Structure formats: C-alpha cells, structure tokens
Chains A and B, each alone.
Chain A
Amino acid sequence: MAGLSLDLIALQLFAGLALGAIYVLFAIGLSLIFGMLTVVNFAHGAFYMVGAYVGVYILSLGGNFWICLVAVPVAVGLFGVLVERFLIRPLYGRGIDYPLLLTFGLSYVMVELVRIAFGKTGYPFDTPEILQGAVDIGVGYFPLYRLFVIGATAMVLLARWLFLEKTSFGLIIRAGARDPQIVRVLGVDVARVWLIVFGIGTAIAGFAGLLAAPLQGVIPEMGGTILAEAFVVTVVGGMGSIGGAVLAGLLVGVVVSMTSLFAPEMGKVSIFALMAVVLIVRPQGFFGRAGLMS
C-alpha cells in the first residue's frame, strides 16, 4: 500500500470511469429496450460485438474512425430493426421468457456468423491517431482516448435525454412504456415505436462496441463477458432507470479498476460481490421501483 501514491489512485479512478462509461452505454441500451418492450435482450452483447466488427470492416475498406462513429450505429441499428421486425415481433404476448430465449439463440448465430466471416482469432484495433497520447489532468497523464470515451458517453446520454424528453416522438415512447394499451387506443402505431426503440437500443450497443474496440481489441466472444457484467449494472442500478444505469455503470467500472489495483486476481469477482451486497440490502437496486423486481 505504501508504494501507491494518491495520484496513482486518482488515475486508476479515471480509468475506472472510462471503463464504466462503456458499461453505461451498454446498460442504457439494454434498459431502454427492456423499459419499452419488456424484452431482455440476451443478444445485446452480440450487437456490441458486431459493432466492433463493423468498425474493423470499415477501417479495412479504408475508412477512418470518424466514419465508423456514424456508420456503425446506423448499420447495427438497422440490423436491430430487422431482428425486431422478423424475429421478436411474433413473440409479443407470449410470455416474457420467449423473446429472451430467442435473442439467446440469436446471439449464438451472430457470434458464429462473425467467426465465419472474420475468423476465430481477434483483431487489434488501433486508437485513431488524433486521440493517441495522453493529457495532463492535474493528477498525472491520462490517455486521451479514454477521455474521449467518457465524453462520447456523455454526449450519447445528453442526446438520449433530449430525444426522450424534448421531442414529440420521445413523448410517445415514454407513454408507450407506461401503458402501451392506452397509447394504441389514442391512435399511435405502437409496433412502429417498439421497432424504432429496439433499433436505437441496438445502435447504442454497436456504438459501445466500437468505443471499446481500441481499449480491449476485437474478438467474437467479447459480447458474452460484458453481458453478464451489464446485468450486474442493471441489478445494482435498478432496471428501467437511466439514472441508476449511469450511476451503477460508473460504480462498477471504478470497482473493477480499483480492485485490479489492489488485488488483481479479484478484479472480476468484486463486481459480483457488489451485486450480492445490493441484492441483500436493496433488492430493487439504487433507483429501481420496489415491487417491480422484488
């Protein structure tokens, strides 16, 4: 402990926030889809992985990272729209487990298709040149790309808030989450709303995968690990709560990052311990409505 300066701890804290930002992005997509469609998207990790691979593909065509930032969410979101329209829509009204099981099967198919198209081994993903290097943030030098990840996440959160709170379509989405029946009676095509929401949720997952690619590299299995960790975020934060997802995502990121500083082998276990504590003390999560979950 003596060798650890306060600066090092502060830097590790920031690294945790960058990691947490990825969790936040992943979890808000998951939460958005669940909140509106009551579908737990087990293929969310696969969409995240596809996002990273679409990035790899665009770069191999000679595109740059900035094109990826726009093209990846669009491509993954369109794919998500197709999935909702043809695979998930027939399952509405058949019990909450069925969409979950379907997306679980879908994740196998998606991972295997990516293995066929890109091979089993992973790809390195270069940090874009302009974001390489480090900046002085007062307590020491911090990688610029990680700052960018935190900033991009903040932008997505802001855009999401503006879209849901300030646009008329956002109003319909919020109303649809509250009571789809009434919204339908008022003459809104709820099926179309759900289609778009699923598209947006998966687009955010693809975006998160792209942002994570320079940090972790790209492998077909990258979505499986983060899915379990995102469930922890969801349980800790409270499902359906965006504030909860943000707070819990950042907290989980910091906990992983801090534990790997003090006890590297316990880095992954710590977040599940966190979840266990939350389940015992507050089963509905930080911001979850009691009764929805317990």
Chain B
Amino acid sequence: MNEMTQPYIPAKAAPVSWFGFAIRHRASLASVVVLIFPMVMPFTALAVNILIYGLYALGFNLVYGYLGLLSFGHAALFGTGAYLCGIAIVHFALPWYLAIAIGIAGGLLMAALMGVLAIRTRGIYFAMVTMALSQCVYYLFYQAVDWTGGENGLRGINVRVVDILGLKLDFINPLTRYYVIAAFVIAAFFVLSRILASPFGAVIEAVRENETRARASGYDVTLTRLIAFVLSGGFCGLAGALQALHLSIVPIEILHYDTSGIVVMIALLGGMGTFFGPMIGAAAFLLLENLVSLWTVHWQLIVGAIFMVCVLFFPRGIWGTLIARGKP
C-alpha cells in the first residue's frame, strides 16, 4: 500500500491548552492586560514606565530572542528616538504626533546605520560592536550641546494637551497619559505579532535556528538580519519617543551603556524569544527595582545578583519557564 491509497485520517486536534490560546491571540491578550493594568497597579507613573520599557524590550527581543543576535547597543536606538522626538518639539515646535513619527524614523535610521556596520560581524562580536557603536552615539549626542543640551539633557518637552481629531486629552492627568501611551504600545503589539506571523517572521527564526540551512534554502541571511535589526530600531525609537513625552526631558543617561544593559536584563528576566516575555520582564524588573530601592540605595547590587541567579538557574526567564511547564 503506497501513500496515495492510504485512507485520509484527519489529524487529531491538539489538546487545547491555555498556552495555545494565549499564543494564538497574543496581541489581543497583551492589549487587554495593558488596558486593565492600571486598575491593579495603583502607581500610574510606574505603570507608564513598565509600558515604555516593555515596548523597548519588545523591540530588543526581536533581535535577541527571535533573530538570535545579542545586542549591547540598543540604548542608541532608544535614545535616538527620544532625542529626535524631543528636538522636534523643542527646536521646531512640531505637534506631538509628528514628533513621535520623527522619533520612530530616528530609531529606524540609527538602526540602519549601526546595523550596516555591526551585521558584518557575527556571533559574539555583534555584542561588542553594537556596544562600541552605541558608545560612539553617546559621545556624539553629548557633544552636540546646541541640539541636545549635552550633559544637562534636553529640557522643555512640554506636551500638556494631546489632541486626536479634535478630541483634546489632558496629558498631565496620569491615567489619560497612561492610556495615550498604551494606545501606541497596543499598536506595536499588533504590528509585531503580524511581523512574526508573516513569512518574513519565519525566515527570522530560521536564521536563528540554522544559519547555514537558511542560506542553503536561498534566503539572504545578512539582509534578513539587517531588516530585523532596523525593525527593532523602529520599536525602540517609538519607545524612546514616548519616554521623551512622558519625562518631558531627555537625560543624556538614556544613551548610556546601562540603558543597553537594562533591556538585556528585562528580556532575559521575562523570557527571550517569547511574545509576552518583554512586558512581564519589564514589570518584574521595575517592580523589583522600586521595591529594592525603598530600603537600599545599592539596588544595582541586588539587581545584578538576581540577574546572575537568572542566568545560572532560570535562563528561560519567567514566561519562558511557564511555557516550558505548560507544554505537554
């Protein structure tokens, strides 16, 4: 009996697990969580921070988790988004939505510049080159005092009212501010989910899993990496722009090496290569940082130690560990 004559047996439907459900409706589910988050989280300012850093980690995770390249220079993408958004408002008095668009464009452009150089190296060198390049961006913004305020940071990004199609929203009100920012984050969820579900998303993961095989299958590995890195820059640029609006100042520390490091910690803590990981990681990291800094100024000691414990014993992170448990 050859294969053709075999009776058709419909594949048994996989047992529906809540993980399967969560993965299928990942963007919607994440959006719902973001929408009800302020109701369980009394400190709205912290909730906004979690949103922004979660978005930043979401962009980072596209490169580290899905593409498999460890970048230590994402601060440059985040910071460029923040600075360009701020410059658009402070120096050109542009409306907030244009400033955000410019921030995203800045993140994309900076990622393209860094990507073209860094993609030429691979593996572990990628971490070193991206870190060095972001240090270069730090010095450049630091020196451009007329545009960026140098050491003092870029001040005076005052957006009090956010108007959408004639609707004026009070951006000073913490809860309104949260939901304005949440709208952008939710949009990013859907865009990212769409990218990952597309054939290009499959190629990204193919490159991570087996570069040689992906190349043999006719995919341009270098170009795939570059495009994924640039897309990541767009998400990080948006996160940076939102951060500028939220803080109403862009401190020079936003480009610092620590900002690149924090996002690595967040992604690993939440679970790299998972859709919900970055947001969960951002919530866990920022809550932890807030709690620890309540009783000691040396929170970096505790955070660094917890990070080491994670690397040693829980490399899959919070969400990654849950997924591994949930799988049959």
Q: Which residues of A contact B (CB under 8 A)?
A: 34, 38, 40, 87, 90-91, 94, 96-98, 100-102, 104-109, 111-113, 115-116, 224, 227-229, 231-232, 234-235, 239, 265-266, 268-269, 272-273, 275-276, 279-280, 283, 293-294
Contact = CB atoms under 8 A, between A and B. Distances in A.
A96 B307 CA distance: 17
Contacts of A239: 125
Contacts of A97: 70, 124, 127
Contact count band on B? 35 or more
A273 B140 CA distance: 11
Nearest to B121: A293
25 contacts: A90-B312, A91-B311, A100-B70, A101-B264, A102-B311, A102-B312, A104-B261, A105-B305, A105-B308, A107-B304, A108-B300, A109-B308, A112-B298, A113-B301, A116-B301, A224-B257, A229-B132, A229-B135, A232-B132, A268-B135, A268-B139, A269-B139, A276-B117, A279-B118, A293-B123
A265 to B, nearest CB: 5
The main secondary structure of chain B at its interface with chain A is helix
Given A231-B128, A231-B129, A235-B128, A283 B121 contact: yes
Nearest to B69: A97
A96 B133 contact: no
B162 interface: no
B288 interface: no
A294 B121 contact: yes
Contacts of B128: 40, 231, 234-235
B295 to A, nearest CB: 14
A105 B143 contact: no
A111 B312 CA distance: 20
B136 interface: yes
Nearest to A272: B136
Contacts of B157: none
A105 B121 contact: no
Interface of B: 70, 117-118, 120-125, 127-129, 131-133, 135-136, 139-140, 143, 257, 261, 264-265, 268, 298, 300-301, 303-305, 307-308, 311-312, 315
Contacts of B298: 112, 115-116
A275 B132 contact: yes
A106 B309 CA distance: 10
Contacts of A279: 117-118, 120-121, 129
Given A87-B308, A104-B264, A294-B122, A94 B301 contact: no
Contacts of B304: 105-109, 112
B117 A100 contact: no
Contact of A106 (B136, B265, B308): B308
A227 B128 CA distance: 9
Contacts of B129: 231, 235, 275, 279
Contacts of A276: 117, 133
A228 B127 contact: no
A45 to B, nearest CB: 10
